[in-house]
Structure 1
Amino acid sequence: MALSVSDVDRFEAARPRLEALAYRLLGSASEAEDAVQETFLRWQAADAGRIEVPEAWLTKVLTHWCLNLLTSARARRETYVGRWLPEPLLAGDPMLGPAETAEQRESVSYAVLVLLERLSPNERAVYVLREAFGHPHREIARILDISEAASQQIYHRAKKHIADGNTRTEVGEAAALRIAEEFLAAAASGRTEPLVRLLTQEAVAVSDGGGKVPARAKGFEGTLAVARFLRGLFKPSKAKRALVGGTPEIYASTANGEPAVVMVVDGRVAGIACLEIGPEGIAAVRSQANPDKLVRATARWAAADHEEGPLHTL
């Protein structure tokens, strides 16, 4: 069925919210874009004039599509090469969605996106719809075709799972940049001591190369092991330049509201290390190097101004 101009405009007005919802549900910007496009095709095939509350209809269609993807993703990730990590989004990306409340910011933080992977698809959907978008349980029940009581139970269970694993401390953007700069200076110093001072005793470092970029399947655990790994990672070498096809430039930035270090090669984002900040320091360094998960970050990077230049080169 052909859509009227007003019907197309109505969908486009909802697109940013739908993309932000899909990204939180899937942890992948590319899959979120595909899910929103599938929702548009279903909107196109429906009789839009008979849909009383278009936003609710679109939210339900998108959520159910994402639930199907999450179910199949569990099987796909069992065969994924190495550690699977979410796709990071750089500061200012509209897909990060609403950030007015602490709950909204936390729901899209990289640390929480990692924890969301531990939830069942329904738990993840209820948590995101409630925490990030403020849907009351009666609406969530209609979206997921469950009872209101079931929505409340699922939400409390999901929230407990997240709270039990979440040691993240929220920091403002200016503080996040300072932390990223301090971390980069310590990592580029060639010594472990500055890094040890920044890391917590239980610090971990994990990387996702997707089988396309070398990345250790098993992460590093403990202050000294992580510090030694990072010291080697940030040490300049011809081998690193040959591997990435150029001279990597390292910038301090933010991703998903957290401090981040961005590696850029000839304008292409080749890696993003997201720093999880806990009460006692840096609790985790999660590095995304899979090129398939850095396409959107590269486009965002190209559109931004970087007059300050890199803080380090490899």
Structure 2
Amino acid sequence: MGISAEFSATFERARSRLRAVAFRMLGSAEEADDAVQECWLRASRADTRAIANPDGWWTTVLGRVCLEMLRARQHRDETPADTELLEESFARDETPSLEDEAVRAESVGLALLVVLDTLGPAERIAFVLHDLFGLSFEDIATIVERSPVAAKKLASRARHRVRGKPLGSAAELAHRRQVIEAFLTASRAGDLEALLAVLAPDVVRRADAGALRPATPTEVRGARRVAEETLTNTGRARFARVALIDGTPGIVVAPRGRLRLVLEVDVAGDRVAAFNVISERAHLRRLRITVLAPGS
């Protein structure tokens, strides 16, 4: 039917906001752009003359588009099938063209993107639109095609999965996080001495075969051996953030916000005593990953 100049102007004013909403719902800048473009295409096929609230209309259409994209994503396996593909994904994700997306992921919280990716499509839409953007459950209900009460339950269920329930006191969580952050900082910097300072002398690194390069042992012991191996993984460390793994601080590695590895970390005193690297898809699905509360 065509879009009037007046209605087109409402789209241009809303474009940046729509892209921000889509990014948080989809976790990908490229897919967010696609979703916003699809909104425009749907508007070109609709009768927009009687729309009294253009901003609300754009948001509703965007929500439906993102819901469809999330449902389609469920049918695709986006996890690398082997170690070589895993390493290639880290190499690709280090290219300068992704700097803009890295900034956006950091602004949302990379760990949050990982947790959102574990939610069902409708749960994710309800949580993002209500908790992050303040949309009413009445409006969300029209997007997910549920009642307002059901939409509220979706968001509540998602909120519980996002925040989870940490194990241990706040002081203990803060201490464990501090030690793990020190390990990550040294890993990203490629600082051998800093790694040796934060690793226990008898530290143990265990990993499933899918997380390792060919001929790499599944278990390595001793601070120097573990530190030297860690220095070969600075690319992975760039995409690593602290999160709660089954209620305890650990590490998620997620280029573009898509989970690739989890590190279960044991802390003893002020040092990392052991960590277990997990890449197997079935194992990752069984883990309860949640975000740390601010200041934890």
TM range (shorter): 0.5 to 0.7
- 1:232 corresponds to 2:226: no
Q: Which residue of 1 aligns with 2:288?
A: none
Whose Rg is larger?
Answer: 2
The AA in structure 2 aligned to 1:56 is: G
Cα deviation code 1:239-269 (max 9, x no counterpart): x9xxxxxxxxxxxxxxxxxxxx8x6xxxxxx
Q: TM-score, normalised by structure 1?
A: 0.56
1:288 to 255, 260, 274: 255
- Evaluate the alpha carbon distance shift between residue 19 and residue 215 of structure 1 in structure 2; reply closer, same or farther with a 3 A threshold: farther
Cα deviation code 1:3-57 (max 9, x no counterpart): 3333222112111121122112222211111111111111222222221111211
Residue 275 of structure 1 aligns to a residue whose secondary structure is strand
The AA in structure 1 aligned to 2:46 is: A
* Structure 1 Cα separation of the partners of residues 33 and 2 of structure 2: 22
The AA in structure 2 aligned to 1:62 is: L
Q: Percent identity?
A: 28
Contact conserved, 2:123 with 2:158, CA < 8 A, in 1?
yes
- Evaluate the alpha carbon distance shift between residue 226 and residue 142 of structure 1 in structure 2; reply closer, same or farther with a 3 A threshold: farther
> Where does 1:116-265 land on structure 2 (aligned, <5 Å)?
116-164=116-164, 182-184=185-187, 187-189=190-192, 192-196=195-199, 216=212, 231-235=228-232
Corresponding residue pairs, total: 229
Once the 2 structures are TM-superposed, how far is the Cα of residue 231 of structure 1 from its aligned partner? 3.9
* Structure 1 Cα separation of the partners of residues 67 and 187 of structure 2: 38
Contact conserved, 1:71 with 1:121, CA < 8 A, in 2?
yes
- Evaluate the alpha carbon distance shift between residue 226 and residue 3 of structure 1 in structure 2; reply closer, same or farther with a 3 A threshold: farther
5+ long unaligned stretches in structure 1: 98-104, 207-213, 241-260, 264-269, 291-314
Residue 69 of structure 2 aligns to a residue whose secondary structure is helix
* Structure 2 Cα separation of the partners of residues 49 and 95 of structure 1: 35
Contact conserved, 2:115 with 2:162, CA < 8 A, in 1?
yes
* Structure 1 Cα separation of the partners of residues 46 and 72 of structure 2: 26
Q: Which residue of 2 aligns with 1:14?
A: 14
- Evaluate the alpha carbon distance shift between residue 12 and residue 284 of structure 1 in structure 2; reply closer, same or farther with a 3 A threshold: same
* Structure 2 Cα separation of the partners of residues 21 and 110 of structure 1: 16
5+ long unaligned stretches in structure 2: 258-296
CA RMSD of aligned residues (A): 4.8
Q: TM-score, normalised by structure 2?
A: 0.59
* Structure 1 Cα separation of the partners of residues 223 and 61 of structure 2: 43
Q: Which residue of 2 aligns with 1:114?
A: 114
Residue 133 of structure 2 aligns to a residue whose secondary structure is coil
Contact conserved, 2:123 with 2:155, CA < 8 A, in 1?
yes
The AA in structure 2 aligned to 1:40 is: W
* Structure 1 Cα separation of the partners of residues 222 and 35 of structure 2: 40
